[in-house]
Structure 1
Amino acid sequence: MKVAFTPGKNIAIKTPAHEYAAVVHFYQEVLGFKQLPHNAGDPFESVCFAFGDKVLWIDKITGISQSEIWLEIISDDIPAAKKHLEQAGCSIRNEIEALPNDLNAFWLSSPSNIIHLVTDK
């Protein structure tokens, strides 16, 4: 059985704390994107914006020096997806950010070090 992957609805920009306010201002005031409510239990401050059919998360992260883009991928079989990706030589990176216990997902790094959340939701 071939594992299927599709793009998820979330894009995150992990932003250094010293740039956070300017990045939020850019999307909110300069571009005029609609801010969305969210109820994530993350240990950091974040703001969500409508980004076409996606949700753009701006996350304030202490201890990083430059912004990172994180993407979401959906798979209907997480254990098979993880096995497939590991066999393909991909790096599973669950140490980078804790996931909620009830989320069936894992973190993946692409060959260019873009972080992806692989989830079934």
Structure 2
Amino acid sequence: MTKQAKFSAGRNIAMKVPPHQYEATVHFYRSVLGLKEITEHAPAIGFEFGSNNLWIDRVPGISQSEIWLEIVTDDISVAADQLKVPGVVRCDDIEPLPDGFQAFWISSPSSIVHLVCNENESWS
């Protein structure tokens, strides 16, 4: 029997925001909604969002905001092989990952970007 990777939702949601909307977006979550800010990963700006973390990323060159989701797995190598199925596009060039970070990028059939990472790589 071939080993299957276990997948689960990660705690991290990234909102990729164009520069012209960035400050207003951060202000909305910080001052209008008053969400608790996550400060231990500065300069990254994030907020507690229920049981999740919402990260606000300034991204030059985009015209509208995008939501990116995190999926965690118990075995990154098996997960990579398992996700070689129709409708799942590997898109590692979308954003560089730190050296040694055991993760990769995929896109769902509806073009939602997902970071797939080992359970111990996720920021809590």
**Which 5+ residue runs of structure 1 have no aligned equivalent?**
none
Number of the residue aligned with 2:34:
32
Name 2:12's counterpart in structure 1: 10
1:44-67 C-alpha deviation (Å, 9 max, x unpaired): x64110111111000011110000
Q: 1:88 to 1:80 in 2, by over 3 A?
A: farther
Q: CA deviation at 1:88?
A: 4.3
Question: Distance between the aligned counterparts of 1:12 and 1:103, measured in 2?
Answer: 17
2:74 to 66, 73, 76: 76
The SS at the match of 2:56 is strand
Could you tell which deviates more after superposition, 87-96 or 106-115? 87-96
Tell me, what secondary structure is at the counterpart of 2:84?
Answer: helix
* Alignment-derived partner of residue 65 in structure 1: 63
Paired residues, what number? 117
Q: CA RMSD in A?
A: 1.4
CA contact (8 A) 1:90 1:110 kept: yes
Does the CA-based 8 Å contact 2:18-2:64 persist in structure 1? yes
- Does the alignment pair 1:101 with 2:99? yes
Q: Distance in 2 between matches of 1:11 and 1:87?
A: 24
Instruction: Report if the CA contact (8 A) 1:6-1:75 is conserved.
Output: yes
Superposed CA deviations along residues 53-99 of structure 1, whole A, max 9, x for unmatched, are: 11100001111000000000000111111111113441010000000
Q: In structure 2, what is the Cα distance between the partners aligned to 1:74 and 1:88?
A: 20
Query: Identity rate of aligned residues, in percent?
Result: 50
Scaled by the length of structure 2, what TM-score is found? 0.89
Instruction: Give 1:7's aligned amino acid.
Output: A
Instruction: Give TM-score, length-normalised by structure 1.
Output: 0.91
Contact 2:89 2:108 in 1 (8 A): yes
Note the C-alpha offset of 1:9.
1.0
